[in-house]
């Protein structure tokens, strides 16, 4: 039997009506997906209601239609139409809609030609297929999503219809064969003769008949992204969202519902992550019945979409991960999924080059000789790529001009970019370049020529941020112009890496080219336009290593990872603050995606001074590189770089592909942090410990390792100690006291 199956059963119910006993029955079809790790099931009533049955740990092949509780008061509406309203507001629905009695959060809100918002979706048909189809929408070239071939996954598509509005909704579910993962998406199609307007369109809904959960979210601000928050659910709605046009520093498009007693190693966890880079809503709602409904998708705030006859709209993909072995197991599943089934391209499984970025080393104050001097010194230390950051284009000497003018500033780089790139290549180094392609400065040739290309509401003042505006990426002329400028640079010089930055949120969200009836589509069309340009870039230049960035980590989401295998995790490069940032990010995202650099001290963002070795150990839990002027740092730090690079290359294959175990948690205990990575075959592990502030007269610490094979013997290559994996995991390692902000690494190999 495949992962998707259909189960039918006829069930008898007893209904008491004015004291008389009357029996009735109806046929119930249960569609269920099983892979031996999880089960997902939904039931179809005779009237075509699609009810949620079950999602969680794999269960047996028994008939589970009873989980729909159709015998509960007010019974099924087929036999008791007088209480249909109560039925609608008390059942668990697979894709709930408003207007017929369900007063909880809906997935779909539609305005028909008469301005009415009621929607009543009923089951029409279903189909299954091997593998995973790409998400599609007419007129849209690329919608990022996970991928799988016929041997890796199976897909169920359930078609619902509302005959009054004359719409179809396709609900797509993909279950991965070897992982406790289901991905969800939805597509609405106008098959009628009249226009309709989509007011709300969520990617999916999951319901439980209980509410004893705690909700984990990743929140923050610039320079302190993705801090972990964990709070109990309460009656009513609790949510995180973005209304900024980007997934945001403030909230990540991720939530998890966990058992109140769940730890890294124990308890149930349900993780939800949206493959999207714009406005989102992730919400858990506890009803007065004590039921829980989770919905996630495009934020309905200020959103609507005109759907003309035969047009369609596709919701972003929702990734759902289940764990019955704690939060850590949930994270490792997300990591495996994204490394194997989201990230693409030539750099998907490769070690990234060790780079040096000049931003914190020079800011705007550089010329070609300064950049070459940094590259020359860096190449002698084993650094493999020089990335030239902001200030190389237009008349850019400060952040107040020239965004949009992507031609070389020859006052700084005489003769253009190619001579500099050729000189750096001759050192044996690759060359990378910073762009901010979604922005335009008021003081720029592009804006002077096309002021209407910026996002704006005609007649209103345009709000600046960082003295810049946002380009209207819903406009194909804008996309073509910007991409043409980027192509001209790439075709002129051997640029092998691009850092794609985006440094402000959207405001005065209006387009000079979209018609009036489509203005509220701009939020979503903007994101789709960015995806289109990124897709062209990575298709036309497949060798490029693309790194995402949004004033640090304001757009660290799966939508970006589909195009860029790594994202700058934060503008805060302080090693101690990065411990929290990288810990929180790892709840959902693998460390191979986290841009992380060793920077100079005192740190430019926070002013703290930490040991150079600790900065290296923390940056190795990421892509690894340097953010400094290597010609000006202390000699002892410069001499340490070759050793750091050697250490990175030794352990990166394990860190990049292995299983991560978080052994410390600064959000709960701010005295230390610790983590380890274990090879998939359990043959080796690397453990890192970071002391925060030391205290006098304190004993050594005993840290329990995780993930080893309990029956294999492991040698601590740093101390020579040899013990069973079970001993290392139950007895632990002893870490003595040492200085403030100091770190220590241990390597364990099976013998």
Tens digits of residue pLDDT in 476-506: 999 999 999 999 999 999 999 999 999 999 9
501 is catalytic: yes
Tens digits of residue pLDDT in 92-104: 999 999 999 999 9
Please state, in angstroms and rounded to a whole number, the distance separating the CA atoms of residues 68 and 91.
Answer: 8
Whether 321 maps to a domain, the answer reads: yes
Q: Is residue 59's pLDDT more than 50?
A: yes
- Burial (Cβ within 10 Å: 0-12, 13-18, ≥19) of residue 566: buried
The residue assigned the tokens 């610039």 is: 222
Cα 286 off chain centre by: 25
Tens digits of residue pLDDT in 229-252: 999 999 999 999 999 999 999 999
Structural domain total, the chain: 3
Q: Which residue has the higher pLDDT, 522 or 46?
A: 522
The enclosing domain of 228 has a CATH number of: 2.70.98.60
Q: Is residue 25's pLDDT more than 70?
A: no
Q: Which residues pair with 678 in a beta bridge?
A: 659, 685
Q: Which residues pair with 676 in a beta bridge?
A: 661, 687
**How much is the pLDDT for 4?**
79
The pLDDT of 197-225, averaged and rounded, is: 97
Q: Are residues 437 and 320 in the same domain?
A: no
Tens digits of residue pLDDT in 453-464: 999 999 999 999
Q: Which residues pair with 408 in a beta bridge?
A: 393
pLDDT category of residue 71 using cuts at 50, 70 and 90: confident
Q: Are residues 695 and 615 in the same domain?
A: no
**How much is the pLDDT for 538?**
98
Q: Compute the half-sphere exposure of residue 232: CA atoms within 13 Å on the CB side of its CA.
A: 7
Please state, in angstroms and rounded to a whole number, the distance separating the CA atoms of residues 630 and 433.
Answer: 18
Q: Are residues 613 and 692 in the same domain?
A: no
The pLDDT of 303-332, averaged and rounded, is: 98
Whether 79 maps to a domain, the answer reads: no
Provide the b/e sequence for 521-542 (b: ≥16 CB within 10 Å): bbbbbbbbbbbbbbbbbbeebe
Q: What are phi and psi of 631, to 5 degrees?
A: -80, -10
Tens digits of residue pLDDT in 352-376: 999 999 999 999 999 999 999 999 9
The enclosing domain of 717 has a CATH number of: 2.60.40.1180
Q: Are residues 319 and 362 in the same domain?
A: no
Whether 556 maps to a domain, the answer reads: yes
Q: Is residue 546's pLDDT more than 90?
A: yes
The pLDDT of 426-430, averaged and rounded, is: 98
Cβ atoms within 10 Å of 138's Cβ, excluding its own:
10
Whether 713 maps to a domain, the answer reads: yes
Q: Is residue 128's pLDDT more than 60?
A: yes
Question: Helix H segments across 84-178?
Answer: 84-88
Whether 665 maps to a domain, the answer reads: no
Cβ atoms within 10 Å of 301's Cβ, excluding its own:
13
Last residue of a domain, one of 308, 341, 374: 341
Assess contact for 589 and 582: CB atoms under 8 A: no
Q: Are residues 392 and 498 in the same domain?
A: yes
Beta strands 292-298; 280-286: pairing state = antiparallel
Whether 679 maps to a domain, the answer reads: yes
Domain extent at residue 501: 355-652
pLDDT category of residue 75 using cuts at 50, 70 and 90: low
The pLDDT of 60-72, averaged and rounded, is: 86
The pLDDT of 423-451, averaged and rounded, is: 98
Mean pLDDT estimate for the chain = 94
Assess contact for 64 and 86: CB atoms under 8 A: no
Q: Is residue 20's pLDDT more than 80?
A: no
Cβ atoms within 10 Å of 220's Cβ, excluding its own:
22
For the chain, give me the number of helices (H) and strands (E)? Answer: 13, 39
C-alpha distance across the termini of the chain, in Å: 41
The closest of 250, 249, 242, 251 to 279, measured between CA atoms, is: 242
The enclosing domain of 565 has a CATH number of: 3.20.20.70
**How much is the pLDDT for 21?**
33
Assess contact for 248 and 505: CB atoms under 8 A: yes
571 is catalytic: yes
Q: Are residues 385 and 529 in the same domain?
A: yes
Please state, in angstroms and rounded to a whole number, the distance separating the CA atoms of residues 224 and 572.
Answer: 7
Whether 36 maps to a domain, the answer reads: no
pLDDT category of residue 283 using cuts at 50, 70 and 90: very high
The closest of 706, 686, 702 to 617, measured between CA atoms, is: 686
DSSP collapsed to 3 states, 487-508:
HHHHHHCCCCEEEECCCCCCCC
Q: Are residues 591 and 685 in the same domain?
A: no
Q: Are residues 292 and 410 in the same domain?
A: no
**How much is the pLDDT for 78?**
67
pLDDT category of residue 206 using cuts at 50, 70 and 90: very high
Q: Is residue 27's pLDDT more than 70?
A: no
Q: Is residue 470's pLDDT more than 90?
A: yes
Catalytic residue from among 501, 600, 629, 673: 501
Please state, in angstroms and rounded to a whole number, the distance separating the CA atoms of residues 505 and 550.
Answer: 9
Catalytic residue from among 120, 162, 389, 571: 571
Q: Is residue 416's pLDDT more than 50?
A: yes
Q: Is residue 53's pLDDT more than 50?
A: yes
For the ranges 27-41, 351-365, 428-442, 510-524, the lowest mean pLDDT is seen at 27-41
pLDDT category of residue 7 using cuts at 50, 70 and 90: low
H or E stretch at 578: helix 575-586
Q: Are residues 592 and 545 in the same domain?
A: yes
Q: Are residues 376 and 280 in the same domain?
A: no
In this structure, is the dihedral angle defined by the CA atoms of residues 595, 596, 600 and 603, taken in order, positive or negative?
Answer: positive
**How much is the pLDDT for 11?**
36
Q: Is residue 18's pLDDT more than 60?
A: no
Tens digits of residue pLDDT in 570-622: 999 999 999 999 999 999 999 999 999 999 999 999 999 999 999 999 999 99
Whether 422 maps to a domain, the answer reads: yes
**How much is the pLDDT for 79?**
66
Q: What are phi and psi of 645, to 5 degrees?
A: -65, -40
Q: Are residues 335 and 371 in the same domain?
A: no
Please state, in angstroms and rounded to a whole number, the distance separating the CA atoms of residues 619 and 680.
Answer: 22
Q: What angle do CA 670, 674, 676 make, to 5 degrees?
A: 160
Q: What is the DSSP string of 81-93?
A: GGGHHHHHTTS-B
Please state, in angstroms and rounded to a whole number, the distance separating the CA atoms of residues 599 and 185.
Answer: 41
pLDDT category of residue 706 using cuts at 50, 70 and 90: very high
pLDDT category of residue 28 using cuts at 50, 70 and 90: low
Q: Are residues 552 and 636 in the same domain?
A: yes
The residue assigned the tokens 């890496």 is: 497
């Amino acid at each position: 039997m495949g992962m998707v199956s259909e189960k039918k059963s006829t069930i008898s119910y007893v209904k008491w009506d004015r004291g008389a006993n009357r029996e009735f029955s109806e046929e119930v079809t249960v569609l269920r997906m099983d892979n031996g790790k999880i089960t997902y099931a939904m039931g179809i009533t005779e009237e075509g209601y699609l009810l949620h049955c079950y999602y969680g740990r794999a269960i047996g092949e028994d008939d589970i239609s009873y989980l729909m509780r159709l015998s509960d008061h007010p019974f099924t509406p087929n036999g008791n139409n007088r209480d249909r309203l109560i039925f609608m507001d008390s059942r668990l629905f697979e894709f709930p809609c408003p207007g017929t009695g369900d007063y909880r959060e809906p997935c779909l809100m539609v305005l028909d030609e008469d301005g009415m918002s009621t929607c009543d979706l009923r089951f029409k048909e279903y189909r299954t297929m091997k593998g995973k189809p790409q998400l599609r929408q007419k007129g849209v070239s690329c919608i990022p999503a996970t991928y799988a071939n016929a041997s890796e996954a199976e897909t169920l598509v359930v078609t619902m219809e509302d005959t009054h509005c004359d719409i179809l909704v396709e609900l797509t579910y993909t279950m991965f064969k070897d992982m406790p993962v289901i991905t969800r998406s939805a597509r609405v199609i106008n098959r009628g003769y009249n226009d309709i307007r989509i007011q709300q369109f969520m990617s999916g809904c999951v319901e439980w008949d209980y509410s004893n959960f705690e909700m984990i979210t990743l929140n923050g601000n610039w320079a302190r992204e993705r801090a972990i928050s964990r709070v109990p659910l309460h009656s009513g709605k609790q949510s995180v969202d973005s209304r900024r046009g980007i997934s945001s520093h403030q909230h990540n498009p991720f939530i998890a519902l966990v058992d109140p007693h769940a730890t890294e190693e124990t308890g149930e966890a349900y993780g939800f992550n949206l493959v999207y880079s714009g406005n989102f809503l992730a919400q858990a709602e506890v009803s007065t019945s004590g039921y829980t409904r989770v919905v996630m998708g495009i934020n309905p705030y200020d959103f609507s979409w005109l759907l003309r006859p035969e047009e369609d709209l596709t919701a972003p993909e929702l990734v759902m991960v289940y764990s019955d072995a704690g939060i850590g197991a949930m994270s490792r599943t997300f990591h495996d999924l994204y490394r194997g089934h989201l990230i693409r391209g030539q750099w998907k499984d490769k070690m990234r080059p060790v780079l040096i970025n000049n931003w914190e080393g020079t800011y705007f104050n550089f010329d070609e000789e300064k950049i070459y001097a940094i590259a020359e010194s860096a190449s002698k230390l084993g650094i493999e790529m020089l990335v030239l950051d902001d200030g190389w284009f237009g008349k850019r000497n400060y952040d107040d001009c020239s965004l949009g003018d992507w031609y070389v500033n020859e006052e700084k780089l005489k003769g253009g970019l190619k001579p500099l790139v050729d000189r750096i290549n001759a050192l044996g180094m690759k060359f990378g370049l910073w762009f901010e392609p979604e922005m335009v400065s008021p003081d720029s040739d592009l804006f002077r020529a096309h002021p209407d290309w910026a996002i704006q509401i005609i007649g209103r003042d345009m709000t600046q941020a960082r003295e810049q505006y946002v380009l209207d990426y819903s406009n194909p002329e804008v996309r073509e112009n910007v991409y043409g400028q980027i192509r001209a640079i790439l075709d002129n010089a051997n640029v092998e890496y691009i850092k794609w930055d985006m440094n402000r949120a959207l405001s005065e969200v209006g387009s000079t080219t979209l018609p009036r009836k489509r203005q509220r589509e701009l939020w979503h069309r903007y994101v789709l336009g960015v995806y289109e340009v990124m897709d062209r870039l990575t298709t036309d230049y497949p060798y490029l290593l693309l790194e995402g960035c949004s004033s640090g980590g304001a757009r660290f989401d799966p939508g970006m990872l589909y195009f860029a295998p790594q994202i700058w995790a934060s503008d805060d490069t302080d090693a101690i603050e990065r411990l929290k940032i990288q810990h929180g990010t790892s709840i959902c995202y693998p460390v191979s995606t986290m841009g992380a650099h060793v920077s100079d001290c005192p740190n430019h963002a926070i002013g703290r001074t930490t040991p150079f070795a600790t900065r290296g150990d923390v940056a190795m839990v990421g892509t690894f590189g340097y953010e400094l002027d290597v010609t000006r740092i202390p000699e002892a730090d410069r001499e340490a770089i070759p050793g750091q690079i050697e250490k990175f290359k030794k352990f990166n294959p394990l860190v990049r592909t292995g299983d991560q175990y978080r052994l410390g948690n600064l959000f709960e205990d701010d005295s230390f942090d610790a983590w380890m990575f274990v090879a998939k075959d359990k043959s080796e592990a690397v453990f890192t410990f970071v002391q925060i502030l030391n205290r006098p007269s304190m004993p050594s610490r005993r840290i329990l390792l995780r993930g080893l094979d309990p029956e294999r013997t492991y040698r601590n290559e740093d101390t020579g100690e040899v013990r069973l994996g079970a001993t290392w995991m139950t007895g632990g390692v002893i870490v003595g006291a040492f200085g403030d902000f100091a770190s220590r690494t241990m390597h364990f190999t099976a013998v």
